[in-house]
């Protein structure tokens, strides 16, 4: 793995960190640095073997749309060729910061003519292969796909794998009339501008960490785009609903912390119908992974508590039997204990 070169990216040209004497690198070193910078600094994504297929070559690939891919959190990209004569496939992988970024890139790269697939939780078949996510990875396979069972060992060895749950926001997009493969996920100002430049980052209040899911819908008078913005609280969403309604040609509706927005709808009645389908239901997702040692420790603590309670119960029974037996023996030998008498106050006799 290459770790000896560190590049700091400036606005125009990468600047290499100077040595201890602050001497700039010679001009002739730049080509070498640029070559090294094109290779990922982490372990390779693709193994030498996937099922019956053997890797023949692999290479790092540049980002197709750097501003957008960086916003999605792309950390590395690699492409490999596999063959098992006469079969062959090309595999491309993007490792992202999290599964939400993988979802956003999946929706961006998914072809319009793709069809649903059961390869993974988020997958689609393409005319020449498949596109799918696995955790924080996005994959595109073209050619003869390997058997899905052969991919399981491949998934297990993926470096820096993160399998956090997908955002619940994607489940609130109405399905009636939705154009297949038209969904787009918004993670920041770049993806928002690509979706609809009429909605500024300040209007969308992206400073709240706002994310959005969009989709196109067919209507009798043409397609319209619905965008669902997810805000931290319903009160913030209520404020943003009022802000969106001031946008010329926009229609907005709030549902819990969600604000549904349609800009310049060709058919207002159809737009109202689409908005009426937006429903919010709170969904609790627990993403934190509890360490195995903590689980074992908690289980041991609970078992210890039950054991302690059992010991106390046993001691109580033994003490009770002993005390009762002691009293029985005293009475048998004529040495009964004075139980004491009852004192009657006789208040009612006055």
> Which strand ranges, in their side-by-side order, compose the sheet holding 49-50?
49-50, 53-60, 74-84, 87-96, 137-143, 129-134, 123-126, 115-116
Q: Do 47 and 55 contact (CB within 8 A), yes or no?
A: yes
Average confidence (pLDDT) over 240-267: 96
Q: What is the pLDDT of residues 281-293, one digit of tens each?
A: 876 545 445 454 5
* pLDDT of amino acid 229: 98
Q: What is the pLDDT of residues 35-45, one digit of tens each?
A: 334 444 456 89
* pLDDT of amino acid 1: 38
Q: Maximum Cα–Cα distance for the chain, whole Å? A: 119
Q: How far from the centroid of its chain's Cα atoms is residue 200's Cα?
A: 26
Question: 48-57, 65-74, 151-160, 317-326: lowest mean pLDDT where?
Answer: 317-326
Question: 128-137, 146-155, 218-227, 311-320: lowest mean pLDDT where?
Answer: 311-320
* pLDDT of amino acid 289: 52
> What is the CB neighbour count within 10 angstroms for residue 172?
19
* pLDDT of amino acid 303: 74
* pLDDT of amino acid 27: 43
Alpha carbons 172 and 184: distance in angstroms, whole number: 13
Q: Which domains does the chain have, with CATH numbers?
A: 1-37 (no CATH), 43-156 (3.30.200.100), 168-276 (3.40.1000)
What residues contact 30, with CB distance under 8 A and at least 6 apart?
none
Alpha carbons 223 and 118: distance in angstroms, whole number: 29
Average confidence (pLDDT) over 227-243: 97
Question: 89-98, 281-290, 302-311: lowest mean pLDDT where?
Answer: 281-290
How far lies 75's CA from each of 79, 101, 169, in Å?
14, 11, 24
Q: Do 268 and 276 contact (CB within 8 A), yes or no?
A: no
- Locate tokens 């919010």: which residue? 280
* pLDDT of amino acid 293: 55
Q: What is the pLDDT of residues 125-176, one digit of tens each?
A: 999 999 999 999 999 999 999 999 999 999 999 999 999 999 999 999 999 9
For residues 154 and 331, the model is more confident at 154
Average confidence (pLDDT) over 89-110: 98
Token reading at 337: 């204990």
Instruction: State the chain's mean pLDDT as an integer.
Output: 83
Eight-class DSSP state of 63 = -
């Amino acid at each position: 793995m290459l770790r000896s070169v560190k590049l700091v990216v400036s606005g125009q040209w990468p600047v290499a960190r100077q040595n201890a004497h602050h001497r700039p690198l010679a001009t002739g070193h730049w080509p070498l640095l640029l070559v090294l910078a094109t290779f990922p600094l982490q372990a390779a994504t693709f193994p030498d073997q996937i099922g019956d297929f053997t890797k023949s070559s692999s290479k790092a690939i540049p980002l197709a749309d750097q501003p957008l891919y960086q916003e999605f959190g792309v950390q590395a990209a690699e492409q490999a060729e596999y063959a098992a004569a006469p079969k062959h496939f090309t595999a491309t992988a993007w490792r992202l910061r999290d599964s939400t970024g993988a979802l956003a890139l999946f929706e961006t790269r998914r072809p319009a003519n793709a069809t649903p697939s059961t390869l993974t939780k988020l997958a689609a078949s393409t005319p020449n292969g498949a596109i799918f996510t696995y955790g924080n990875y996005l994959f595109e396979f073209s050619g003869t796909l390997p058997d899905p069972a052969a991919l399981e060992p491949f998934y297990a060895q993926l470096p820096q794998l993160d399998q956090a749950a997908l955002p619940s926001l994607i489940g609130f997009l109405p399905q009636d009339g939705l154009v297949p493969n038209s969904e787009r996920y918004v993670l920041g100002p770049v993806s928002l501008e690509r979706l609809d430049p009429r909605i500024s980052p300040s209007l969308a209040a992206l400073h709240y960490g706002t994310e959005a899911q969009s989709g196109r819908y067919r209507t009798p008078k043409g397609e319209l785009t619905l965008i669902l913005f997810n805000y931290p609280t319903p009160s913030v969403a209520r404020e943003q609903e009022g802000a969106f309604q001031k946008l010329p040609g926009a229609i907005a509706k709030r549902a819990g912390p969600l604000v549904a927005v349609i800009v310049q709808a060709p058919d207002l009645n159809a737009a109202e119908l689409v908005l009426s389908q937006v429903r919010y239901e709170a969904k609790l997702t627990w993403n934190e992974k509890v360490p195995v040692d903590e689980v074992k420790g908690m289980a041991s603590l609970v078992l210890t508590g039950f054991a302690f309670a059992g010991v106390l119960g046993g001691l109580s029974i033994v003490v009770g039997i002993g005390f009762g037996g002691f009293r029985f023996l005293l009475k048998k030998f004529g040495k009964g204990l004075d139980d004491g008498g009852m004192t009657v106050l006789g208040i009612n006799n006055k």
